[in-house]
Structure 1
């Protein structure tokens, strides 16, 4: 039986730390602590809970350098992007400091009663199963609104970012949150299954793969517990003939290559109308070639290795199977350990893995179409549903297409991205439920109807 977790720096393969996994008795202790803490935490006024959020923001700000280094060492993100991730977490906290009180206010409903309203009560202990690609942001966008609403949280993080998971718990403790309000669990999938069957755990939030989502949904259903799933994506980027490439090409490249292409909401399929196709290929290729590969700890590095070598191997296989089916390599397609060279594939069709599967790395699949109608049809021809982006000068016409896009997001002249002010989530096999905004705060509350007659 596995009793420890080792973490490694993906850029050089060096061993970072070894962590002892929580025993079954330790997990039970953490569950009991969460349960007892919830009984007092939920009774606090919202303004008291939110006041601690300012402490949390201060902790992030004061420790940004150290935390950014930890992110980069554990999963290989370029250091400038790691700093930006910490800053985004601070922005998220500020948003909920400003808005939690009115998000959670009772909703008065006019009925025949003397008074009737909806109150929003916390559910209790919420389990979060989180991925490695944004090891702080993914956790904070769950934890901040969930705790502000009066719940307590247990985190099962990806094993390769265990150091980040432990550091996050320490941040909450240093911010003076009650012990047991936020706890990290160093466990495996078997441990998660046992936790899901425990009555103390009231609901689960998962960000991860389709496979992990199906398993968690099965466990949640078996135990009749609410679940929120943010799963994989294969976002389309539609480039119409009137797109202003000189203005938007940097955004388009960033939409694929940010975080070394390791993002569920990255643009993965570029559907380009033939009128602008050659110009697009030239400008896109030029910008991708200009990306600066190197050590992720260097400030001028803009793209680096993937988080693990096995991830690069999987991507390599997807690309090769697509080439075998007729895709052409315009740029890249070289792997060295965990590094995968930024790659552009043309002559891509809907039967290829790079079109119909999620590619988690810096591979851009380019599809040429004849018309705007064909572009939208091709964009919708897939099983994922996180987001679609379209670049055009006629944004009014694009707006009229909104209902044709079944995804959780439709961005015009901008890359799909998460924003604390806007709800975030997917459809189809990209999951269900919404994080962020007011919807994220109400994801794990009991919407209680209260009806009063004199």
Structure 2
């Protein structure tokens, strides 16, 4: 048996067994059988099922939220917001998939020629623990509306969330086999990727794990979308609204206890406003409450696992040894659970761990820059390229956005995933897009049709 541990208490909250070979075979067969019927449905029919899933998620929002809080420590208010975002994501694709996948007429030497978008088969989604509902929705909502079936391989630390998602589909009356979840090991995951009944793979997680998934999928000539790590820069220039920048960047950095790929992990502040920015940020962070994630007053819950907290603390310690100034936090607390204090590092050297590695926790790293050119030189000097933000006069920011080497840019706003807009990184942050019209076209056959007389 495998234990699921509540990171706020250190106590075992449930036990489960990994999906064995027989059950794995059953799920693969279910998905293949369901595909033949599911793909034949109209967009309207598939959309009606997705709307029922959205309703089922909302109806049991407290159950789903409590599972996230219990299994990975997400504060209950954030967890409720994630359930709602997942429900909205279902509705978005139910409403817009047909438009996104409308055939495209292209004039040629044919009487008529066009491209039509057809499903591929079964999509395997390999998911992390930090947003178990929303990251699942980013995979299944577009894939299902395109006519594919989906199997979700959740992280082993959130088995209750995985089971509850599948139950929501059952409650909504979605045909058996269209959406299934499972928890299994690396060897079985590789076997699934290689199985002929899996047509494509979507992976969200670390860069190291993503490179392995990509290699396996490529060896089987199967498409893959990878959403990997990030070390997102946030540039704040002298003409920025500092109060707004501080407020939004604090939210960006510390949401989900800082355990977000698209968090603002490297803050680069123009020298003339650096001291003022740090003062404002210090005041803002002092108001954040770390504690019991079941309480609505809590802003920051525990790190998902004790070993992740230890790794984060090592990064902070090494950054301080490199010359970073620790304004607050930076010390391991006593007591149960894998909590970590709100930590602010300033004057962070370029070679410090907080700038060269991805930090996954409630740690803000801030550095002054001479001007916009130095800011972009530092911002792009990273192996990652997931998201970025810039704070300046609006039109100036829009013009500067193209200088970022990243998959998405926010000008005077938070970097986030939105079902209406594509998201995804470049460099070692992955490839391919999720969400928006671009995301739904990742797992379809763009079939060209040439019609003669």
TM-score (norm 1): 0.97
Once residues 398 and 54 of structure 1 are traced to their aligned partners in structure 2, the CA distance between those partners, rounded to angstroms, is 38
User: In the alignment, what sits opposite 1:263?
Assistant: 260
- Which consecutive unaligned segments of at least 5 residues does structure 1 have? none
Once residues 127 and 5 of structure 1 are traced to their aligned partners in structure 2, the CA distance between those partners, rounded to angstroms, is 23
| Cα distance per residue 1:188-244 (max 9 Å; x no partner) | 111101111111111100000001101101111111111000000000111111111
User: In the alignment, what sits opposite 2:167?
Assistant: 170
User: In the alignment, what sits opposite 1:359?
Assistant: 359
Matched-pair contact (CA < 8 Å) for 2:401–2:411: no
Superposed counterparts of 1:168-317, under 5 Å = 168-317=165-314
Matched-pair contact (CA < 8 Å) for 2:46–2:94: no
Once residues 424 and 323 of structure 2 are traced to their aligned partners in structure 1, the CA distance between those partners, rounded to angstroms, is 33
Once residues 431 and 12 of structure 1 are traced to their aligned partners in structure 2, the CA distance between those partners, rounded to angstroms, is 34
| Cα distance per residue 1:323-377 (max 9 Å; x no partner) | 1111111111022351111111112122111101100001111111111221121
RMSD: 1.0
Superposed counterparts of 1:115-126, under 5 Å = 115-126=112-123
1:386 corresponds to 2:392: no
1:248 to partner: Cα distance: 3.1
Q: What secondary structure is seen at the aligned counterpart in 2 of 1:429?
A: helix
Q: What secondary structure is seen at the aligned counterpart in 1 of 2:4?
A: strand
| Cα distance per residue 1:279-330 (max 9 Å; x no partner) | 1111001110100122000011111211111110010111111111111111
1:5 to partner: Cα distance: 2.5
User: In the alignment, what sits opposite 2:421?
Assistant: 422
1:403 to partner: Cα distance: 2.2
1:413 corresponds to 2:412: yes
TM-score (norm 2): 0.98
Superposed counterparts of 1:46-61, under 5 Å = 46-61=43-58
Q: What secondary structure is seen at the aligned counterpart in 2 of 1:401?
A: helix
Superposed counterparts of 1:18-37, under 5 Å = 18-37=15-34
User: In the alignment, what sits opposite 1:148?
Assistant: 145
Aligned length: 450
1:402 corresponds to 2:401: yes
1:186 to partner: Cα distance: 2.0
User: In the alignment, what sits opposite 1:438?
Assistant: 437
- Which consecutive unaligned segments of at least 5 residues does structure 2 have? none
